[in-house]
Each structure stands twice: as structure tokens, then as C-alpha cells.
């Protein structure tokens, strides 16, 4: 099928670009002896997870138990749930999958650890635990080496849990190289203090897992990091380009849309916040809800639920109802999450269609 | 089942509040002799559409053909697609449903009208057409009475189409009563000019359809309006309250979440942009991604995909991992659209679960 036959809005992935993105990250990880554990929240598609494994990834990362269940049922058997599993119901589901696969969970509290221990030990299963360290993003994580060691000792004492190491997410790194270097120094100081404290207490942190696509190609600059969890790199998006972590040509995913109304310096496309998500642009002046590949002078100024509002006053192009455009979204992870299926294309031919099987697994 | 047994995040609807919201709008429409044609994009659940019909609604509104197909298959047979249907594939699907039900489409271009006519007339079916008039929101719609009449005459000449009237969406109305009154005067002037032009040309605009929940209880103040298409009113949300179109007690929908991390003036809940959507607050200073019912002093400052970042520095409450909270989202339509199912609760008992059947029908 030719892409022009796809009804819009349609999420399409350029398979050649995707393959190149996958290879580049795998090569970087091999070069720096980093284990690659891609975060599959970006695509939520088992077939793509399998390709990542085939390309050298050691296992995968997910955020929710429901996503882990989907991936495990599709044959992925080494899964890090980079999210604190809290509550007896979720702990029971975790224990059930821990009987069938190598499961690791990241958490930052005794409450979460104790809950998992109770459920897992009841089944005689084992779950690996990473302690999340807050390196400045201020979302989750223990704050310092004292809290880290206290929690690690607690985990080591709980049945069914195996203390495995440390996870961090440097989500607060900006674009400025100088600022990034300075922040990295601070993160490394903290990582050093945690390592020293673990050594003093004879706690073995075998895994030091760093994350985030924007910092993915700098993971080798963080002390002792031996695992990385990039997500967005498989597709890239306007934000990844905006923070200079990819080039526009590295954006594998775009959304095909149709102009459904046009006139007086504006046009409306058939994709809005229920197609792209309303995630903002994280770079420059923060405006625009995606980049129109065919017309850089047009701006997606606003989104309604099902309309993208184009300001075309600075464009030479004459917009007509029925025109088709392709849009690189601000944030691919939340865009893919809006769709039940996405298309893989080679050149202008649709080669495959994938169901976004992990979508909607919010629990 | 008690609501405390629901795994989080879970979208729950207080059925008593929802019933009251439905009755109030139905009463208002009866009082002012307005036909009620609720926009089902808010819930995308056939059972709720049926309740709206049972409460006196004349038919329903949807945005996409896929939503119309879901609703028609569930027995809803009078459907306005308030969205320009563009492209031969969609026109064919439209023609197919027009054979089975009373279908009306709103559009603003000859291209859209001609495409629908071609597909519909081939099957010998009929589609009613409303012309969208842009009353200032600047999204879709013809701009004035001249464009309106030109397009109406074109539609009247095309086989398979029946010119039915006018649709408008006053989405640009703000909170200020004075400003609203002034804008209403302008919209009424435009509606008057269109009505006069239609009369001169002997075009019968039987339906004058106004929209939007924020302006819903003022629809009787617009000239000749005889149909209204509110959506959000069934649940209401933080934005509806923010623009004074509902009270907090009228918010029927909330999202149950669990605290998964806590400490140092912050807490993280297990709902982020993939649970709530990242739609912003449209009132006051625009900050916050929802309202925590149990603690007005805490703010949902940021959303990651699966985390809500709470700033709790101004709160007296001590946040612990495992605490459950309920959040009124900024925008219910995009929140519901994130979920495969939502729960109906009476008091603290879960009475029903609905599949969001129209979700993901982006085409």
C-alpha cells in the first residue's frame, strides 16, 4: 500500500531512519561497554522491543505493571519496571510475573519495598531492586547517600528482594553544554558519595542505571554507570531535536494529516490534542505543537481536541482543503500513546502495521 | 466493590452528580425550547449517549466518523458529525452510515461538500449539511454571510446533500461578563446578517446550532439558536469551574491516584500526562494539572508521562507512600480519552464500569 492511501490522521514510522537510530545507540553502548535497556514506553510495541533486543539490548524498561505484562506475554523476559510499585494488588501482579521472568523494580521507599517483599516472598519468587537516586530532577528518589544506604540495608533484609543497585534520571539537564557539564559534576559527586557509602557498608551495587534520551550519548561521562535506559531515541521528535540530541533527519516518526478547512491566513488539520497530545515544545520559545515537514513557515499555533490550528500567514504555500501534510510531533511518547496502531513505511510504501499493545495499560 | 479496592489510576464518575448535571441541562433546554444534541466526545461511551437521549436529547454530536460508527452500532441513530469530512475514503464510510441513520455533517468548503456528495449520491443516500460559521474562534467556518450563502447554494445544487442550516462554536468567549455580552452582540449581528442573506436567497436554515459548555447556559441569548451541543457538562472539570460554568460540586469525574514517592516538600502520584493529558488550566494563572480534592494547598506542578509532581510545601498534610487521593482534571474530555474504561460510583460503591468505546477512533 502506498502511504497516500492511508486515512489520516495516521502515525507513520520511517523504518530506515528507525533502524539507523537503533543501530547508532547500540553501537554507542557497545563502544562504552554500557548495557542497553531501552524504555519501551516510547512505542509500547512488543515487536519493536524484540528488535531492540535483537540489536543488542540486554533487556527492556517499562513504567507500569500492565506494560510489563504485555511485554512478558510477548516473550520479553528481562524487564525493569522503572517505577515504584505501590499497593497490595499491584504487588501481587508483580509477584506473578516475577515467577515467569527476570523482574527488577526501581523504588525509593520502605513502604514500596515492604509491600513487594510480602507479595513476592509468599510465592517464593525473587525481584531485583534498584534504589532510585534523585540527582536533581526532584520527582522521585532518595536524596543522598545516607538515605540510600539506609534503604539498601532494609531491602537486603527483606525476603524476596535482591538489592541490585542504583537508578537515576537526569531529566533536569538543559541544552547549554556549560550548564550540562556543571550539572554532571554534581551528579558524579553524588554518585561517588553513594558508591563510597555502599562500600563502607559492604553493599554491592552491581547495576548503576542512567536514563533519558537527551543525555543518552553522555552516559559514559557519568561515574560507574553501566546501564542506560533511553526511550525516545528509537523515533526522536521535535523536542529531541530542540535539545540537540538528534537532527531533524533522525526523526523517524511523523503524523500524516489532512487539511480540513482553509482560509484567511489559517488552516485546520485533522489532528489535535487527541492525535498529538498537548505536550509543549521544550526548547527555544516553547511555541508550536509540532513541525510541518512540508512547510517550515507554517506554525501549529494551537490544538483543539481534533483540530490543529495552523497560522499560515508567513507561508507562501496556498493551503487547500484536502492537502496532506506530515507533522513531526513535539513528543513521540505521548503521541504514540494516543493511537491503537502505527504504520511502518519504507520509502513511500507501507510495510507493516503494529498494534500499540501497551497503550492504555495505565495500572 | 468499594472504591478503595480499585487499582489506581482509576477514572471514577459520581453517578448522582452526573445525573444532576444531565437533568439540569435537559431542563434548561426544555425551558428555552432548545434541541439538545450533546457532544459525546467528552465520554465516547454509548451507554451515556443513550442516557442523554433518554433524558430528552434529540440526537448526539461526534467529531469523527469512527465515533459515529461506534455510536450507530450501539443504536444511536441521529448523529451530527460536527467536523468536515474530507477525502474519498471517509466520504465512503460516511455514505455507508448515512444509509442506516440520520446523519448530518458540518463543513465550510465546497471541496468537502463535493466529496461527500459524490460518495453519498452513488448509494442513493442523503446527508444533511450544516455550514459552519466562524463567529470569532478562528478555527473553522466561513467568515460572513456572502461566503455562507455562496456555499449554501452550492450545497443545495449537489445530489445527496440537504442544506439544513448553520453551526457555530463560540469557543473564544472568556470569563468576563461584560466582555461576553459584547462578544455576544457581535455574534448576534453576524447571525442576523446570515439569516437576512438566507431569506433573500430563499435558503431555509432550519437548524441554528450553537455549541460549547462554557456558553451552554447562555444559548437562549443567541439569535434564532434552536439547538445546542454541550459536551463537558455531563462531568464538568477544573476548567469548567475556572470559567464559572459550573461549581466544584458539579464535577462528577475524578481520577483516583496513589502517592508512590514522598519527601522534602514534594510527592509523586501515579498519574501523569498519560493519565490526565497535559492540557493546561484555562483560568486564573493557568498553573496546575488538576485539583486535589483532599488537599487544596497541594499543587500538581508538573506532569511526567506517568508521574504527577506535587508541590506540598504549603500543605499541612503529611504525605506518605500509599496514600490515595482524588484529582479533578483540568479537562475531562482529554482525560477520559486516555483510558479504556471508567467507573461509575454511587457514594463509595462501584456500581458499573464502562468501556470508552469511541476512544482511539481518530479517523
The predicted-structure confidence for A244-288, as pLDDT tens digits, reads as follows: 999 999 999 999 999 999 988 999 999 999 999 999 999 999 999
* Digit-coded pLDDT (tens) for B26-80: 999 999 999 999 999 999 999 999 999 999 999 999 999 999 999 999 999 999 9
Query: What is the DSSP code (8-state) at residue A39?
Result: B
Selected residue of A42, A93, A107, A139 to mutate for chain B interface (largest B Cβ count, 10 A): A139
Q: What is the mean pLDDT of residues A129-156?
A: 97
State yes or no: pLDDT of A24 exceeds 90: yes
pLDDT tens-place string over residues A319-340: 999 999 999 999 999 999 999 9
Q: Is B248-355 assigned to CATH 2.40.37.20? A: yes
Contact A360 B340 (CB under 8 A): yes
Full DSSP string of A312-351: -TT--S---TT-EEEEE-S-HHHHHTT-SEEEEEETTEEE
pTM above 0.95, yes or no: yes
| pLDDT at A67 (0 to 100) | 98
Q: What is the pLDDT of residue B297?
A: 97
The CATH number for B15-234, chosen from 2.102.10.10, 3.20.20.10, 3.40.50.12280, 3.40.50.300, is 3.20.20.10
**CATH architecture under which domain A15-235 falls:** Alpha-Beta Barrel (3.20)
> Number of residue pairs across A and B with CB atoms under 8 Å?
155
What pLDDT is recorded for position B212? 84
Q: Measured between beta carbons, which residues in chain B are less than 8 angstroms from residue A337?
A: 274, 305, 338
Q: What is the pLDDT of residue B106?
A: 98
Lowest mean pLDDT among A9-13, A46-50, B260-264: B260-264
Residue in A closest to B271 by C-alpha? A362
Interface contact flag, A278 B275, Cβ < 8 Å: no
Cβ separation B334–A362 shorter than 8 A: no
Check A7 against B262: CB less than 8 A apart.
no
Cβ atoms within 10 Å, residue A157:
11
Tell me how close the Cα of B31 comes to any Cα of chain A, in angstroms: 31
Say yes or no for a CB contact (<8 Å) between A258 and B87: yes
* CB contact set of B214 (below 8 Å; sequence gap of 6+): B173, B240, B243, B245
B275–A277 C-beta distance less than 8 A: no
Cell of B12: 471514577
**pLDDT score of B211:** 86
Measured between beta carbons, the chain B residues lying within 8 angstroms of A338 are 337, 360, 362
**H/E segment holding residue A11:** strand A10-14
Tell me how far apart the alpha carbons of residues B308 and B290 are, in angstroms, rounded to a whole number.
10
Query: Which chain A residues are Cβ-neighbours of B84 within 8 angstroms?
Result: 260-261, 321
Q: Where are the domains of chain A?
A: 15-235, 248-355
Please state, rounded to an integer, the average pLDDT across all residues of chain A. Answer: 97
Confidence tier at A213 by pLDDT (50, 70, 90): confident
CB contact under 8 Å between B278 and A274, yes or no, is: no
Query: pLDDT digit of tens for each residue in chain B (363 aa)?
Result: 999 999 999 999 999 999 999 999 999 999 999 999 999 999 999 999 999 999 999 999 999 999 999 999 999 999 999 999 999 999 999 999 999 999 999 999 999 999 999 999 999 999 999 999 999 999 999 999 999 999 999 999 999 999 999 999 998 888 888 999 999 999 999 999 999 999 999 999 999 999 888 888 999 999 999 999 999 999 999 999 999 999 999 999 999 999 999 988 999 999 999 999 999 999 999 999 999 999 999 999 999 999 999 999 999 999 999 999 999 999 999 999 999 999 999 999 999 999 999 999 999
CA A334 – CA B90 distance, rounded (Å): 26
Amino acid at each position: 500500500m502506498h502511504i497516500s492511501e492511508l486515512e489520516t490522521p495516521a502515525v507513520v514510522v520511517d523504518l530506515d531512519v528507525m533502524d539507523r537510530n537503533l543501530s547508532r545507540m547500540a553501537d554507542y553502548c557497545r563502544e562504552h561497554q554500557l548495557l542497553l535497556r531501552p524504555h519501551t514506553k516510547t512505542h509500547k510495541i512488543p515487536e519493536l522491543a524484540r528488535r531492540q533486543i535483537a540489536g543488542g539490548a540486554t533487556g527492556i524498561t517499562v513504567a507500569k505493571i500492565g506494560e510489563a505484562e504485555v511485554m512478558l506475554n510477548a516473550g520479553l523476559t528481562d524487564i525493569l519496571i522503572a517505577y515504584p510499585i505501590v499497593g497490595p494488588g499491584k504487588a501481587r501482579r508483580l509477584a506473578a510475573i516475577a515467577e515467569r521472568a527476570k523482574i527488577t523494580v526501581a523504588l525509593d521507599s520502605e513502604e514500596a519495598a515492604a509491600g513487594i517483599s510480602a507479595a513476592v516472598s509468599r510465592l517464593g519468587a525473587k525481584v531485583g531492586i534498584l534504589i532510585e537516586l534523585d540527582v536533581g530532577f526532584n520527582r522521585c528518589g532518595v536524596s543522598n547517600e545516607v538515605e540510600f544506604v539506609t534503604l539498601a540495608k532494609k531491602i537486603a533484609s527483606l525476603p524476596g528482594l535482591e538489592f541490585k543497585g542504583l537508578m537515576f534520571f537526569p531529566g533536569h539537564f538543559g541544552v547549554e553544554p556549560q550548564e550540562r557539564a556543571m550539572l554532571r559534576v554534581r551528579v558524579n559527586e553524588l554518585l561517588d558519595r553513594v558508591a563510597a557509602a555502599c562500600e563502607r557498608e559492604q553493599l554491592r551495587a552491581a547495576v548503576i542505571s542512567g536514563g533519558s534520551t537527551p543525555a543518552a550519548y553522555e552516559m559514559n561521562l557519568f561515574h560507574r554507570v553501566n546501564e542506560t535506559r533511553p526511550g525516545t531515541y528509537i523515533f526522536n521528535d521535535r523536542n529531541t531535536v530542540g535539545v540537540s540530541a538528534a537532527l531533524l533527519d533522525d526523526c523517524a516518526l511523523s503524523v500524516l494529516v489532512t487539511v480540513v478547512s482553509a482560509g484567511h491566513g489559517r488552516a485546520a488539520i485533522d489532528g489535535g490534542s487527541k492525535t498529538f497530545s498537548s505536550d509543549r515544545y521544550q526548547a527555544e520559545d516553547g511555541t508550536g505543537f509540532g513541525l510541518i515537514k512540508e512547510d517550515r513557515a507554517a506554525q501549529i499555533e494551537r490544538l483543539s481536541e481534533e483540530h490543529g490550528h495552523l497560522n499560515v500567514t508567513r507561508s507562501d504555500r496556498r493551503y487547500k482543503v484536502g492537502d496532506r501534510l506530515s507533522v513531526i510531533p513535539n513528543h513521540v511518547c505521548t503521541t504514540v500513546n494516543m493511537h491503537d496502531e502505527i504504520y511502518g513505511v519504507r520509502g513511500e510504501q507501507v510495510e507493516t502495521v503494529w498494534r500499540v499493545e501497551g497503550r492504555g495499560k495505565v495500572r
